[in-house]
Each structure stands twice: as structure tokens, then as C-alpha cells.
Amino acid sequence: MNLPLSFSVVTAIKDGFAEFSKTYPTILAQTFSDFEWLIIDDGSRENVASSFPHLASDPRVRVIKQETGQGQTSALNLGIRQSKADWIIRMDSDDLCHPSRFEATKKAVELNPSAQLIFSDFSILDESDRIWAEVRLRTPLSPSFFRYLKEKNNPVCHPTVSFRKVDSKGALRL
């Protein structure tokens, strides 16, 4: 698929504007800026566009209102359907994004053109935004890692995930 944008960032939000006020600058200040950002408002009490007017002035940002009460999964799926790029970057409305995350993702895609899913190490912050813990995954990933994913737990932090919008057979991933 040859699309003009490198990435579509998809974020669902329902209220939580105090946390989002910390999140959005980390998206807009990425070192790699060729992306669109779809913010799906899942029935917030306040209006995202009027609460954050500077977002509306950024041509990369689209705020999409969803019917109240559809939930986060529905909101994220709506964002994926509305996205224009081949790669989706998942971002929660209350998480922070490393300034070079999109650039690192772009490099990973270029180095692994057949990749379908990319994820990374991550840090857990405390209430003061200080690093509380760091999670580092060993590479290369072994078959035992994938068995662990299937059988026990998922050490992949969802706000580090990027994936192809369409699978190898051309089916939309929702």
C-alpha cells in the first residue's frame, strides 16, 4: 500500500483531560513529524477541540466524535478505519511518548519491511513523572517469548505498539 503518510496515530479519549494535557505535547513534539493523529472522543463531558484549541490548528490532527458510551475498543477501531497510513501507532490519552518514538518506529519498519507488529521497551512513571521502573525486552525474541505471550502473560506495553493496518492478505485489522 503506497500512502502519503508514514503513520496514523490513534488515540481514544473519554474525559481525563488533565492527563491528556501531558500526553498531547509528547505526540506533537516528535522528532519524526510525518504522521496524522486521530483523536477519537468517546463522549467526553467537555469538547476535546474546544478544550485544546491548538490541536485544531495542527493539520496533522483530526478529532472525531463518537457516540457516547461505545467504549475504548470501538473508538480505536473507528480511528483505524478512518486512518490514512499503512502503519498504526497506538497511543493512550494518559501516556507519554518518547520524543524519538516515531523516528525509531520508522527505522524499525525500514529495517524489517515484512514486519507486521513493532513494540519496544518502556518506562513506568510515578505520580511525579519520575521513572519508577524500566522494562527491557531481550532481543532477538525467542520462540519461548512467544509461548510465554500465549500461555502466561503479555509483557508488551500497548502504548509502545505499532502495527500494519492491513495484514499480508489485505484484510483490515480491527
Say yes or no to pLDDT of 82 above 80.
yes
Amino acid identity, position 1: M
pLDDT in tens, 90-141: 999 988 888 988 998 888 888 888 888 777 665 566 677 776 666 566 566 6
Say yes or no to pLDDT of 80 above 90.
yes
Report the DSSP pairing between strands 131-135 and 122-125.
Answer: antiparallel
What's residue 27's pLDDT?
94
Question: Cell 485544546 maps to which residue?
Answer: 52
What's residue 16's pLDDT?
85
Q: Taking residues 57-79, what's their average pLDDT? A: 89
DSSP state for residue 172 in the 8-state scheme: B
Question: Cell 525486552 maps to which residue?
Answer: 137
What whole-number distance in Å separates Cα of residue 58 and Cα of residue 54? 7
Phi, psi of 39 (to 5 degrees): -105, 115
DSSP state for residue 159 in the 8-state scheme: G
